[in-house]
Amino acid sequence: MTSEPTRLPAPDRAARPRRSLPAVTARTLTAALLVGGLALGTAALAQTATPAPAPATAQAADADRTVTLRPALSGERRYLTIPNFGRVAYYADDRGQGRPLILTSSVNAAASAYEMKPLWDAYVGTRPVYALEWPGFGSSDRPDVTYTKELMTAALNALIERLNTDVDVVGLSLGSEFVARAALLDRRVRSAALISPSGLGNPRGGTQEAAADDGGQQLYNRLNAFSTPLYAVIRTRPSIQYFLSRSFRGPVDGGLIDYSLDTTRQPGAKYAPIYFISGRLFTADAYTDLYSRLSIPTLVLYDQDGFVSFDRLQEFTLRSGARAVRIEGTDGLPHFEKLPEVRAALDAFWAAQP
**Cα–Cα distance for residue pair 195/173, rounded to 1 Å:** 6
What is the pLDDT averaged over residues 308-329? Answer: 96
**Cα–Cα distance for residue pair 265/273, rounded to 1 Å:** 13
Buried b (16+ CB within 10 A) or exposed e, 199-220: bbbebbebbbbbbeeebbeebb
Does pLDDT of 6 surpass 50? no
pLDDT higher for 168 or 43? 168
Q: How many CB atoms lie within 10 A of CB 33?
A: 18
Identify the burial level of 53 via C-beta atoms within 10 angstroms of its C-beta, where 0-12 means exposed, 13-18 middle and 19 or more buried.
Answer: exposed
pLDDT in tens, 139-170: 999 999 999 999 999 999 999 999 999 999 99
User: What domains can you pick out in the chain, each with its CATH number?
Assistant: 75-351 (3.40.50.1820)
pLDDT at 223: 53
- Quick one: the chain helix, strand, coil %, rounded to 5? 40, 15, 45
Cβ neighbours of residue 92 closer than 8 Å, sequence gap 6 or more: 75, 76, 78, 128, 129, 130
- Tell me the pTM: 0.81
Confidence of residue 85 (pLDDT cuts 50, 70, 90): very high
Does pLDDT of 220 surpass 80? no
What is the pLDDT averaged over residues 212-219? Answer: 53
Please give the mean pLDDT across all residues of the chain: 81
pLDDT in tens, 8-22: 655 544 444 433 333
Does pLDDT of 92 surpass 60? yes
> For 42, phi and psi rounded to 5 degrees?
-65, -45
**Cα–Cα distance for residue pair 171/192, rounded to 1 Å:** 7
| Degrees, nearest 5: CA angle 238-61-89 | 70
Closest-CA residue to 310 (of 197, 173, 201, 199):
201
pLDDT in tens, 327-340: 999 999 999 999 99
Confidence of residue 235 (pLDDT cuts 50, 70, 90): confident
The terminus-to-terminus CA distance of the chain in angstroms comes to: 15
Does pLDDT of 277 surpass 90? no
